[in-house]
Amino acid sequence: MRGGLSKEELMEDLARRVAECRRCPLFKHRRRVVVGEGNLNALVMFVGEAPGYYEDLKGRPFVGAAGRVLDRLLEEMGLRREEVYIGNVVKCRPPGNRDPREEEIEACSPYLDEQLEIIKPRVIVPLGRFSTRYVMTKFGLRPAPISRIHGRPYEASSPYGPVIVFPFYHPAVALYKKGMEEALFEDARRLRAVLSERGYI
């Protein structure tokens, strides 16, 4: 690791810098930054878009209603929160839970890049269209509408070896769009099959 530091030390250093970040105006509205949480040796990393109301309140990712959906999806995949890492592209809540803007993603995504370098996941699961576009572009894959590419594995390479990018709809769609819950759970079953095939579960 960098300078002989452990993964824990690197993540603590990153968390300190994120807490002091002023790279975009979102810092003016936040209660707490949401750096991410989970296993720093995780084989599977989930990447959301930005914190919502409850995440901003608690400083943890996916702790509201969408988080409860994600917990059920993890169970369907044969995974537990303690086994995976969960983060977001943007670390501060956009006002009114609006979508993150391009300049906010550009300002904040270097922190996500650092997290990926620290954790070195083998499977990256972007949740929603903004995180999918960012992750796919980062790994040299061609972005496309989430409705076309969700639930499919895309092979890519990284500085630490091969990775699979497996886009998902954002778990929140199950809460406000009729019929989307089954699509999410079908994708969870597909991902479980990929993880099992690779010996990751």
pLDDT digits (tens, 9 = 90+) for 157-187: 999 999 999 999 999 999 989 889 999 999 9
CA distance 166 to 179: 21
Full set of structural domains in the chain with CATH: 2-198 (3.40.470.10)
Tally of CA atoms within 13 A in the half-sphere of 90 that contains its CB: 31
- Cα angle value 102/140/22 (rounded, 5°): 30
Closest CA relative to residue 92, chosen from 68, 70, 71, 109: 109
- Prediction pTM value: 0.96
- Mean pLDDT across 4-14: 97
Q: Look at phi and psi of residue 58 and say left if phi exceeds 0, alpha if psi is from -120 to 50, else beta.
A: alpha
pLDDT digits 0-9 by tens, 87-135: 999 999 999 999 999 999 999 999 999 999 999 999 999 999 999 999 9
